[in-house]
Amino acid sequence: MWKRNAVCLCLRTYSSALASRGWARKADGPRRHVRDAIGSSYAILGRHAHTQYGPVKAAGAIADDEFLEALRRVLPVEKLQPASPPVGLAVSGGVDSMAIATLYSRCRQSHQLPELHGIIVDHKARPASGEEAQWVAEQLLTPVGVESTIVPLVWPQGFDLLTSTRFEAEARKWRHEALGKTCRDKGITSLIMGQHKDDQAETILMRLFSNRHRSGLAATTRIGWIPECFGVYGVHHSGSPASDKSSVASLFEHGGMRVLRPMLDFEKSRLIATCEMHATRWAEDATNKDKTLTARNAVRHILQNHKLPEALSKGSVVSLGQNVQSRLEKHKAAAAALYSACSFKLDIQTGALVIRFPPVEAFFPGSDPDHVPSPSEKLQARATAQYLVQAIIRLVSPREHLVLETIANSVIWFWPSLRPDNLPPISYQYNSTNDCYFSQLHQNQQRQTDDPGTGHLGPWCISRQPPSEPKFANIRIDFPPGQTSDWRLFDGRYWIRVQNHTARSISLGFLTDRKLEALMQLDPAAKGYRNLLDSGFDARASDRRKQLRAALEAVKPHRLRRHLPALFLEPELQGGDPELLALPTLQASPDDPSDHWECRWEIKYKKVDPGAGRTLNDIVTRPVFHPLETDALTLEQEATKAQLDALGLFDPVPAPKDLAQEKRDKKKKYRERLKLRKKQEQDGEPQHPA
């Protein structure tokens, strides 16, 4: 291992030096030598264009049966039918995507596969990019027979392509977003990408050079969710309708865009041989051969032009990544089984979860009750527990990516006996990680001192960690007047769209401490109360405010109020206070519904996994908000006692009675008693006190 580390250090220094040379002359721009495979010049491309004029018997070409088997490993059988939705292909014009298009087109003729549609992103990073994209589309259509769509990339205003040091990262993000949106618009749910074995080796070597270890060295997965599309509706875990709109499932989002990588077992040389055999033209970006331009280019140059030790050869590096990935998959499978066995309830109105974790013995299946786990067994159990906690946190966390390493301390909170022997004991009252807050309920209940592993006893409450005041302004969505918005992701947890037919902007944000204090006051003269809730202080308005207060009182623990979504009508004058319209997830409003009938909304919770053998109905507390055409007109009608009972996690406060109706009921009973007394006087019966 020390030899591998020493070699990695040398290679890291070498590759960094190569990349540094490239950045030093970046202002000169990339070199664009344009030639084809037989030496002819192409004036239209900023790439090397490779051409083969007739079929040849190329050694190592991928056979149709090989490709079909690789395709079946990533696409379910039910999707390999002609009537299935089309499959997308991200096409750069390189040999990888052109080889896939060629093989897929051939297999479709003999195996009745669904339609393949190519998506070409015109990155607009250089003047000739549009002409290049058109050339690639022509090569797809005429020789290969695959239709395609060219998507011009729209860069953010003010982004300088020449001077930005984040060009590669930003280009990757915007390219994936363009691919995802195009697939969504065309009804495509599976997108094929062309990563191959050489790409895997480069990626793992770069991670080794960056001192990544363990899970950071895992191989690329064959099937995954499209990256860089967080918050894009219809692409990121959303957009598919629920099978039953009357069920709890309709309160959640479903769907998402899958990325398929069928070529991970094939080397680039075989892809080149495939294109040569079938006379498929492809283009290579000349900048990919510049070893001084990027770190990846430097690593590619090292792999292709230097003889490395066997431990760092292409095959060994890929094998390392696959072994790491195999171990991770075993831990994930064990964690998934424990997740499905966990008893928990999710309150989608507050985004909070109450869970009872499995006992520590569940991480050592088949062991004797008196078995004392070894340090190695504890290490394996902690790895499984990390994936279990990660799956649970994902239910309520606002983050797109959960950092597995930061979850390690939480594992010891829940299962103290898994603590490494060299770590001191820690407190058990609360914990937080990945913007989630953990607290043990019934904290007056003492732990059993004879078993240090009883961290699972008693339920835990896991919720979104209340954001700090400086972050409040960033967690906000604005809805301009006179418009109906698209679906927007708020705080990484709620999908919402708003129909704003008012003359002012509407914003979605959190309730600050000051606003909460004002909402919980019933005295109209209280400071801040009139500005936030004032709509006339008649009896009905007072009842509505009491109902709103009861709804907030029902939210327990009280800290959950800090991250409730709230709709505000922005002030007409700058510097004024916004007017609270509603708390959408609680179906509560301080005003008469007719006062803001021009505001309507739909809201759903993010996509969640209920676990194997369970439905969403099994894990969710009784929800009351409706996803379809929820509007302010129904708020007062639906604030019933039964619904308010379901608002909180524990001991909900009953809804206040309608004071006017209560007064009418008292008058009715009084009249009935008077009528009964008169009848008794007429009949001569003894009178009873009223």
Across 134-144, average pLDDT:
92
- Range with the largest mean pLDDT of 196-200, 219-223, 229-233, 651-655: 229-233
For 600, the enclosing helix (H) or strand (E) is strand 599-605
Would you state the structure tokens that stand for residue 668, as one six-digit string? 């009715």
- Lowest average pLDDT, out of 185-189, 380-384, 662-666, goes to 662-666
The token pair at 122 is 């015109």
Question: In the prediction, which pLDDT does 142 show?
Answer: 87
What pLDDT shows up at residue 430? 60
If pLDDT is split at 50, 70 and 90, which confidence band does 628 have? very low
356 in the same domain as 224? no
pLDDT of residue 95: 94
Q: Which residue has the tokens 């056979």?
A: 63
Check pLDDT > 80 for residue 266: yes
Query: Above 50 in pLDDT, residue 642?
Result: no
Backbone angles phi, psi at 149, to 5 degrees: -125, 130
Residue 604 lies in a domain: yes
- Answer yes or no: do 529 and 673 share one domain: no
| Torsion 219-288-89-190 (CA) sign | positive
Provide the domain limits for residue 426. 327-465
Rounded Cα gap, residues 410 and 400, in angstroms? 19
pLDDT at 686 over 60: no
The answer to whether residue 607 is domain-embedded is yes
At residue 427, the pLDDT reads: 58
Name the more confident of 509 and 446: 509
pLDDT band at residue 378, thresholds of 50, 70 and 90?
very high
What CA–CA distance (Å, rounded) separates 440 from 427?
A: 12
DSSP for 158-175?
A: T--TTT-TTHHHHHHHHH
CA pair distance 27, 295, nearest whole angstrom: 17
Q: Count H helices and E strands in the chain, helices first.
A: 19, 22
DSSP annotation of 585 reads G
Q: Kindly state whether residues 483 and 458 are assigned to the same domain.
A: no
Region 138-155 average pLDDT: 91
**476 in Cβ contact with 566 (< 8 Å):** no
Q: State the pLDDT at residue 242.
A: 80
Which of 350-359, 435-444, 537-546 has the highest mean predicted lDDT (pLDDT)? Answer: 350-359
Among residues 229, 250, 94, the alpha carbon closest in space to that of 172 is found at: 229
Determine the pLDDT at residue 334: 95
500 and 424 part of one domain: no
- Please count the structural domains in the chain: 4
The amino acid that residue 638 corresponds to is E
Q: How many Cβ atoms sit within 10 Å of the Cβ of residue 519?
A: 24
Residue whose structure tokens are 């982004």? 159
- Point out the domain boundary residue: 265, 289, 313: 289
Name the residue with higher pLDDT: 626 or 510. 510
Ranking 233-242, 437-446, 599-608, 663-672 by mean pLDDT, the lowest is 437-446
- Residues 416, 505 share a domain: no
Are residue 461 and residue 514 in the same domain, yes or no?
no
| Same domain? 460 vs 474 | no
Consecutive H or E run containing 13: helix 2-24
First to last CA, the chain: 94
Residue 193 lies in a domain: yes
Residues 558 and 623 in one domain: yes
Residues 686 and 637 in one domain: no
List, in order, residues 6 or more apart from 234 with CB less than 8 Å away: 181, 184, 255, 487
Residues 411 and 533 in one domain: no
In tens, the pLDDT along 535-564 reads: 444 555 567 777 888 888 888 888 888 889
Separation CA 672–CA 192 (nearest Å): 77
Would 315 be classed as within a structural domain? no
d(CA 97, CA 86): 17
Instruction: State the CATH number of the domain containing residue 99.
Output: 3.40.50.620
Q: What pLDDT, in 10s, does the model give residues 36-47? A: 332 333 333 445
Evaluate whether residue 262 is within a structural domain.
yes
**pLDDT at 256 exceeding the cut of 50:** yes
> What number is the average pLDDT over the span 405-424?
83
Q: What burial class does residue 225 get, using C-beta atoms within 10 Å of its C-beta: 0-12 exposed, 13-18 middle, 19+ buried?
A: middle
SS3 630: strand
Which of these, 491, 618, 626, 624, lies nearest to 565 by C-alpha position? Answer: 491
* Range with lowest mean pLDDT among 59-68, 92-101, 367-376, 680-689: 680-689
Q: Is residue 308 part of a domain?
A: no
87 and 134 fall within a common domain: yes
Look at residue 192 and tell me if it is in a domain.
yes
Of residues 105 and 312, more confidence is placed in 105
pLDDT band for position 505 (cuts 50, 70, 90):
very high
Task: Give the mean pLDDT of the chain.
Answer: 78
- Within this chain, do residues 132 and 160 fall inside the same structural domain, yes or no? yes
Residue 317 lies in a domain: no
Taking alpha carbons only, the member of 499, 515, 597, 610 closest to residue 562 is 515
Q: pTM to 2 decimals? A: 0.79
pLDDT in tens, 181-219: 999 999 999 999 999 999 898 888 888 887 777 777 888
Other CB atoms within 10 Å distance of the CB of residue 198: 19
* 8 Å CB contact between 548 and 529: no
Give the Cα separation of 612 and 615 in Å (integer): 8
Report pLDDT for 166: 74
- Beta strand ranges found along 465-535 (DSSP E): 477-479, 483-484, 488-490, 494-500, 506-509
Contact in structure between 414 and 447 (CB atoms under 8 Å): no
